[in-house]
Each structure stands twice: as structure tokens, then as C-alpha cells.
Chain A
Amino acid sequence: MKKCFTIALAGNPNCGKTCIFNALTGARQHVGNYPGVTVESKSGRFSLNGMEILLIDLPGIYSLSSSSPEEEVAFRELTKRGVDLILNVVDSTIPQRSLYLTTQLAELHIPMLLAFNMSDDAERKGLKFDLPKLERCFGAPIVRTVGCRSGGVEPLLNALAAALEKLDSHGVPMLSYGMDIDGALARITEAIESLSAERCSHIPARFFAVKLLEHDACVWNLPEFRSVHPLVGNEIRHLLEKHAIDTDTFMADRRYAMLAGACRNAIGTTRERRREISDKIDAVMTNRYIGLPLFFLIIYATFWFTFTCADPLMGMIEDAFAFLSGVVKTFWPETILPYLRSLLTDGVIGGVGGVLVFLPNILFLFFAIAILEDSGYMARAAFVMDGVMRRFGLQGRSFVPLVLGFGCTVPAIMATRCIESERDRNTTIMVLPLMSCGARLPIYALIIPAFFAAKYQAFVMWLIYLTGVGIALIAARIMKSTLFKGDGEIYLMELPPYRMPTLRSLLLHMWDRGRMYVRKAGTIILATSVILFICNTWPEKTAFSRNYEKEIGEVRNNGVLSTEARENAVSALENEKQAEMLEYTISGRVGHALEPLFRPIGFDWKLTTASIGALAAKEVFVSQLGILYAEGEADEESVPLREQLIRHYTPLQAFCIMLFCLLSIPCLATLAVMRRELNSWKLTVAEAAGMFLLAYIVTFLVYQAGSLCGIGTALGG
């Protein structure tokens, strides 16, 4: 007997498929994307009675047509050779809706096992199933499960084992579309069989006949069947003229009628309860008037939870990395390969630490989001917000990621996965960097108090944030009418009844996202931080304009000065030396080389160099500027750096600096995640180039207009 089996897991959205998948495979999952589309592919392995099983989690679909990328993916996966068994998860609380997909899966004649999930809820709802009758109808064994309760999948494991034992003797479904259609189907089936198309021979010709008759795009485009198109066309015309049957939708109609018949015979009901409770909650949650305020309250609570819980952990991670780098520094004497030593401690450990420090934030955030998703609230939030977001070419589900963008763009981009429409998701991802993230705050915090009077400070800050939001919304509109033009998918979203999320699925969700982030930190972000470190330190300057060593030595030995004055003079000299070193490196040289380009927007070479550093992380702009102005490692509270800035720049230039930092290319971590989620290098590069152009043009206009009108050219009160 065969030892390895491939099982495809199919079912409607919200049928509890993910719960069953998690219960079967545990954490041994592989998450990726299907080629060409941004539909998440998930597979996992487990063993059962000595059999190795590969479980493929198909996207949740209502039908096996090709009206969405998800359905196309499912169609492709199922018609591919090599699927030994279909495990069809059915939400048994709504059998009519869920079994609709089953009618189509049954026609594939691939051995199938039906899992009537949430059977406890169905029982409470008063549904009684005549399982043998239903089994005969679909030609597949049925097992009751409770996917989200531990132990609820035990019967499923036994049924799976039994089904895999006798794959060869699976039943034949008894599905009929009525006399007229069955006649047409028989004729088309015969024609298809005479083609003997090799690629599709493992699937009965009748399946393709049905799909051709209902004008399914995927099957209609298969070159194998081109020669039967005229025959199908005739049959469709005949049915329309003779019986007034429009086959496009009539097949769906027949399937539902078939199910209504089957359900009448095999499913009895006594009362309905769960829906009522859910409806009562919804009367409040999606209320026309308090729905929106409630939504904002819940979002606020989510962020509060995330940042309050993550804060102490972030501190711990920071300390741990500082400790690690300290340990390396103690055991690696400064005299041996000093460059490699600082590359390892400041570049690698510092760079990775700087990324991992966000891990607690990401974990808690996705834990909170998982609660909203699994309980069913996210669909309500999308329902309530849709009207507002649609005016800007976005949709309800775009809102949460956009707000997250004020914290950090990386998790925000990862959160866009809940947006089903690819167009809307891509638009949301591409405008996200314009939401001013937390890392840009230090830049504003440095500049605003230096250049603007206290009464204007809040206003300037507000203006910067608002500029970002405004441009993001305009950009979304423009993108929707150009780059992502077209009708898009027909919008349909289920609002599932509220359910209590299980801790297990919440933790798995959190683990999933966390792992993804850490893997990113370990590869692309690590590489880029090393590259930027090299740019900022190499080539090393050995011959200086002044002999710093000697001067420092002279100051040290100067008996006239007090100890304090001596220390100050020494650190001033060291800072100057550092500034000279940075000017000599690749970053410094590139900054000098690019200065002519940046002059029209009010930047000198120091600002240009700092902008390059900001590619690693936006807040690096501040520390780079600190080094360049020979004030040592500065942070946003640095008073001497502020004094230097006031001496060198006008308020107009200061505003332009903030504007440029807000609008220009996002940090490399963002670009890396963006590339993954957009699943396209082209769009990512276009995004980076577009953002640079946007920043340049806007800053140019502001600077030139400001200079012309004489606004902010001198430091006022």
C-alpha cells in the first residue's frame, strides 16, 4: 500500500477549516504564496497510522467557478494530478450554503470525506442529519467534528484513516440537473471523451461538460476543449430558446434546488438559537449611529493593549542586545581586526537588535488582530467603515492597516492580508508608507522645538501628519483610477456569527506572523544593515586634516585647564574627527556627489548623507546628523545639535527636511516586506522610485515657493 498521501482541504470561508488544519498539522506548517497571485498557500504534514500525509489548505471558496483568484487557485490545485483525497469541511450549522461547494467537488470523482464541522452548534441549533442518506447523495463518507475544541477532531482522524484504506472503492455521487440539462451534458461528455485529452483524463468528462455549460472561464480557456466549443455553444442556445434556460446561472439554481431536496429529506430542524444571540450583538456593533464610535473605541483598545504589553519586553530585548554586544567587545580586544569587531557589534548585532526590538509589538498586535478576526468582529468593522473608505478608493478592511501605519509600517503591511481584493490590498500597501510612522517621530521631535515657537509646535506636527494622510488618500484615489484601474471583483463578504476564539488558534496566528517577521530580520534586514554599516564606515580615513591624536594629547596634558574643560575639549576634538571620518566614507562621498541634485530642495551634503542613512531606519537620520555636526551620537533631545541646526538652516529648510523624510523612500525593512506582500519586484521598485519623486517634487515646490515669498527664510519668534 502507498505510504504517502496528498489531501486537499476545501471549504467555504468561515467554515472552521483553519481550525481543522491547525488541529491536524499543529505548528508544522508551510506558508507561502501561489505563483502569480497573492493568495496565501498553506500546507502541512502529519502522520497517521504510519502513513505520511501532506495536507494542502485551499483558500476558502463558495464555489468552484472562476470568479475570484481564490477560486481559480482552488480549481487549479484540485484538477492537478496527485490529490488522493478531498477533505471537505462543511459548516453543519448552515448545511444548504456549505453543501453547495460539495455538489461541485463530488463531480470531480476524487475520493472525498465530508467533515460536518461545528456539529455541537448544529445540535444546539436543533439540526438533525440523516447521515447515511446524505452519504449516498454525495458518494462520500461523513464524519461529525468540532474543529475548535481539543479532541473534536479525533473522529476525523479515524475516518481519514478509514477513507485512505479504501480509496479505490469510493462511492458515486447521485447528482442530476434535470432532464433537459442532463441530456445536453451527456452529449458534451461524449464529445469530450472522444478527444481523449491526456491532461484531464483523471477527472470525469462530465465535470468539464458541466463547467463548459455554465461558461466557466477556467475550463473555457483550456486549449484541450477548444474543438467542443461549437457544440457547447449550440447546446446553450438550444436550452435558452427551447426551455428558456440561461445555463450561466441555471446550474447554480439547480444545485440549490438539489440541496433543498436533499436537506428536506435528510435534515430535520427544531429551533434556531445561535444566530439570535449574534444578531443581538450586531444590533449594537453595526448600529448606524454607535457602530462607528464603537469601532474606534475597539481599535484604540487594541493599540493600547499592544503598546502597553510590549513596552517592558522591548526594553528587555534592547538590554539583551546591548549586553551581547558588550560581551563580544570585552572578549574581542580592540587591537585585533578592529574593523571586523565593530562590524559585528555595531553593524550586525546592532542592526538585528534594532529590528528584533519590534518583535513584542508585532506579536501582541497580531494576537489582538487574531481576536478581532476569529471572533468575527473584523468583518463588522469592515462593514461599518466601508462607506467612508470607499470615497478614497479604498475599502473597509483598509482602515486597520492604515491606522497601524502610524506605529510601524512593517506590521501594517503584514496586516493587509485580510483585504481580499488584490487591487484594494495593493493600493493600501502602496500608500501605507505615507502614514507617518513612529520612527519618523524623533526627526520631528528634534527639529520642531528648534525652529518653531511653542505655540506653533503642535500645529506644525499636526500639519506634517495631515500632509501624509492627505497625500496618501489622494494617491489611493489616483492609483485606483490608473494603476489598478478596472471594475475589480464584485464585492461580497460574509458576516459570520460571532464565535469565541480559541487560545490555540490565536497563538498559532501570532506565531505565524512572528516567525515571518523574524525570518525577514534574519535575512534581508540583516544584509541591508551590514551594507549600510559599511557605507557609513568605509573607506576608513587614516590621514586627517589635523593631527587629532597630538591635539588631544596636548589638551590632556594642559595643566592650566580644569578637568571638566579638558574633557569637553577632548570630546569636541573626537567628534570633529568622527565627522571628518564620516565625510570620507561612501555615504559622505555620495552625499557630496548628490548635493547639486538636492540643492533645489534646500538640502546641503550633510542632510543628503543623513537621508541615505535614513534608509536603514528613519530615526537614523537624527544620529547621522549628530555625527556630521560633530556632536557625537545625538538623539532627538540633543540641545547642542539643535543649536547647530539653528545656525545652519532656516525654518523653511527645517520644514522641508521633515517633509522630505515623511514622503521619501521608506526604510529598507518596509521595502522588503512590501516586496513580499506585493509579490512583485516591479511594483516595489516603482513604489520606491515614485516615493522619491513625490518627496522631491513636493519638497521642491514648498522650498521654492517659500523662498520666493520669503516665508520662513529667517528665524522668527
Chain B
Amino acid sequence: MGRKDQGFCTCAPSRRKAREGRCGKKDMSLAELPVGTTATILKVLPHWRGRKKFADIGIVAGTELVMEAHAPFGGLLRVRVMESSMALHRDDAANVMMRGESVK
């Protein structure tokens, strides 16, 4: 997945290292979050055109969300954010980075 690598590149290397060192769990994008897990948003990639739309429904750094389901045949993810279920696209979700150590 090319998007994932791109996501890591935009992170400041020193910070990333510190994060990995602290908890041993890598940060991941929302697209990779397994079904049934809860995690906190680390950040939404800057300069991505959908970030404002996502921010408006509560997908901003610090929000906790739950990955509820994946739709059959790829495509959509179902995420619970701010008490409501939202369907969003996997490609778009790749722009949302989750805090590794927060995955439950």
C-alpha cells in the first residue's frame, strides 16, 4: 500500500521513532484498523482535500473512534465517530493516522 508509506514520510522522523520506542506498537492509518477495535486519531494528513469534510463530522486529532465493519468486496468502511456510524471510503481513510498505542 503506497498510501501508508506516504503517511509515514510526512511524520517527523524523530517523533515517529519516539512513539514506536515508547509503546512498541506502530501508528497505522484508519484504513488498516481491524474491525472491532477502538483507536484515537493521531492526525489527518495535511494538504489532503477531504480533511475539512472529515473534520466537520468529528474526524480530528484526539477523537476516539471504533471500526465497526468492512463492506463486502472492499470499498467502504463503517466507522463510529461522535456517536454515529459513518460509511467512508478506504482510500480516504488512508489519510487518517491512528495512534498506535491507543488501539484496543
Q: Give the interface of A toward B (CB within 8 A).
A: 62-63, 65, 67-68, 93-94, 96-97, 100, 214-215, 246, 248-249, 252-253, 256, 275, 282, 286, 288-289, 291-292, 379, 382-384, 386-388, 390, 396, 487, 489-496
Contact = CB atoms under 8 A, between A and B. Distances in A.
Nearest to A391: B73
Contacts of B49: 487, 490
A253 B61 contact: yes
Contact of A494 (B54, B71, B86): B86
A97 B57 contact: yes
A289 B44 CA distance: 32
B53 A67 contact: yes
B52 A65 contact: yes
A600 B28 CA distance: 61
Nearest to B77: A383
A286 B73 contact: no
A436 to B, nearest CB: 26
Contact of B73 (A96, A379, A387, A491): A387
Contact of B85 (A382, A491, A494): A494
A215 B46 CA distance: 14
Contacts of A291: 72
B76 A387 contact: yes
Interface in B66-86: 69-76, 78, 82-86
Residue among B54, B61, B85 having the largest count of chain A Cβ atoms under 10 Å = B85
B82 A249 contact: no
B56 interface: yes
Given A388-B73, A492-B88, 13 more contacts: A62-B56, A63-B57, A93-B83, A94-B83, A96-B82, A96-B83, A97-B84, A248-B55, A253-B55, A256-B82, A387-B75, A390-B75, A494-B86
A49 B74 CA distance: 55
B73 A97 contact: no
19 contacts: A65-B56, A67-B56, A96-B83, A97-B58, A252-B60, A286-B78, A288-B72, A379-B87, A383-B76, A383-B87, A386-B71, A396-B76, A491-B87, A492-B53, A492-B86, A492-B87, A492-B88, A494-B85, A495-B78
Contacts of B60: 249, 252-253, 256
Nearest to A101: B56
Contacts of A491: 76, 87-89, 92
A487 B62 CA distance: 28
A285 to B, nearest CB: 10
B50 interface: yes
B95 to A, nearest CB: 10
A396 B87 CA distance: 11
Contacts of A214: 52
Interface residues of B, number: 34
Nearest to A396: B76
B63 interface: yes
B62 A253 contact: yes
A252 B76 contact: no
Contact of A493 (B44, B56, B86): B86
Given A97-B83, A253-B62, A495-B78, A387 B71 contact: yes
A495 B85 contact: yes
Nearest to B69: A286
Nearest to A253: B60
A63 B83 CA distance: 16
Q: Which 6 A-B pairs have the closest CB atoms?
A: A387-B73, A252-B55, A63-B56, A490-B50, A387-B75, A495-B85
B72 A249 contact: no
A288 B43 CA distance: 29
B51 interface: yes
A150 B70 CA distance: 38
A386 B69 CA distance: 14
Given A253-B62, A492-B88, A94 B74 contact: no
A492 B62 CA distance: 20
Interface string B14-27: 00000000000000
Contacts of A390: 75
B23 to A, nearest CB: 23
A373 to B, nearest CB: 16
B71 A286 contact: yes
Nearest to B70: A288
A387 B76 CA distance: 7
B50 to A, nearest CB: 4
A567 B72 CA distance: 65
Given A65-B56, A387-B73, A494 B63 contact: no
A379 B60 CA distance: 24
A254 to B, nearest CB: 9
Contacts of B62: 253
Given A252-B56, A253-B60, A492-B53, A384 B72 contact: yes
A700 B39 CA distance: 59
Given A253-B60, A492-B87, A386 B52 contact: no
Contacts of B54: 490, 492
A490 B74 CA distance: 17
Contacts of B51: 248-249
Contacts of B85: 494-496
B75 A386 contact: yes
Given A96-B82, A253-B55, A387-B76, A246 B46 contact: yes
A378 to B, nearest CB: 12
Contacts of B72: 288-289, 291-292, 384, 387
Contacts of A396: 76
Contacts of A215: 52
A62 B81 CA distance: 13
Nearest to A290: B72
Nearest to A279: B68
Nearest to B95: A490
A256 B46 CA distance: 19
A491 B58 CA distance: 15
Nearest to B56: A63
B88 A252 contact: no
A490 B92 contact: yes
A94 B69 contact: no
Contacts of B46: 246
A236 B53 CA distance: 19
Nearest to A275: B83
B61 to A, nearest CB: 7
A249 B45 CA distance: 11
B24 to A, nearest CB: 27
Contacts of A383: 71, 76, 78, 87
B72 to A, nearest CB: 5
A283 B104 CA distance: 20
Contact of A249 (B44, B71, B75): B44
B67 to A, nearest CB: 13
